[in-house]
Structure formats: structure tokens, C-alpha cells
Structure 1
């Protein structure tokens, strides 16, 4: 029964991760489908992606100054 318990625990982890991955993919595909049919949302996401580079640079500089001073 110990081997069976271990096999059940492993299969539980495998199936849980598989279903979680499936759920994430379905949500991602639904969002991408929504973006494709809404050009205003697509423009907002493009602007958001362009500003993320600036925000990341600012955060890195901020962390650098915090650790130096």
C-alpha cells in the first residue's frame, strides 16, 4: 500500500498541474481572442508593453540607488 499511496500522490500532482495548465491556456486564448476583435484594447496593450520597458528601467535604477545609499 505504500507504493500505491506514492503513486496516487504523484498522479494527483501530475493531473492537478495538467488541469491548471489547461485552465491558464484557455484563459490566455480567450484574452487573445478578445484582443483580436477589439482594436482599442489592442492599442492599449501595445502602449502598456512599451511603457513596461521604461518602468523596468526606472525600477532597476531605483533599486541600485537604494542599495548604494
Structure 2
């Protein structure tokens, strides 16, 4: 299942890294496209598209991605 989804991710180390992140996102119900951006780029994306300032201090990537996903899809 994962193997078919990661063909576009490149080769070698990056493919293994992104495949692991994709599996983590599937387990936690997150959008991989948002999760792979990272905290700072998620904050910038939400601010640019929706005009909402996300607070990322003291939060892990999982919490930030969940907040951003709620904003994007609602």
C-alpha cells in the first residue's frame, strides 16, 4: 500500500524518510501534504492563505499539522 504511494518521492534515503512520514500521517489521520511542510512553512501557508496566525512555540509537528488541517479543511 505504501509502496505505490511513495514512487514520486525520489530515491534512496529521502524515499525511506518520506515513506516513514507518510505511514505516520496515515496512522494519525493527517494530510501528508501539510505534514511534510514542517512547522515554519505550515505557519506561513496558513497565514498567507487564510490570514490566521498559528502559534507554533512549544508545540510538536503533530499538533501544528492537526490545527492547520482543521483550518484548511473547514
Shorter-chain TM-score tier: under 0.3
Structure number with higher helix proportion: 1
* TM-score normalised per structure 1: 0.27
* Greater RCO, 1 or 2 (C-alpha within 8 Å, sep 6+): 2
* TM-score normalised per structure 2: 0.26
Structure of greater Rg: 1
